[in-house]
Amino acid sequence: MSYKAVLGKKTLNAETLINAGKLSGLIGPVAPFVAVDGGLNAAYAAGLSVEIGDVRVGDVSFFTLPTAGTRTAPDGQSIVVIG
């Protein structure tokens, strides 16, 4: 079974998405490897989990984007440059 299928089965189901403890258990281990906007907090993420209730495993795509390193944007934000 592919990692996509396993990840999808474990995350894209009502039991996980509506259970704060399970959702936290999913997000916690992944969080150090993901960069998000400062506005993405637990309350916002919980709201998203309700909104994506119709998403199924086949609707999700994973990919790795080649990068050319990081830079600082003119407004001071740290950015990843697409390679």
Domain, as residue range, for 54: 3-82
pLDDT at residue 27 greater than cutoff 80: no
Total domains, the chain:
1
pTM score, whole prediction:
0.35
pLDDT tens digits for 38-65? 777 777 877 777 777 777 777 877 778 8
Alpha-carbon span 61 to 71, nearest angstrom: 27
Q: How far is CA 63 from CA 4, 14, 19, 66, 76, in A?
A: 11, 25, 27, 10, 27
Mean pLDDT of the chain: 76
Q: Which amino acid is at 70?
A: T
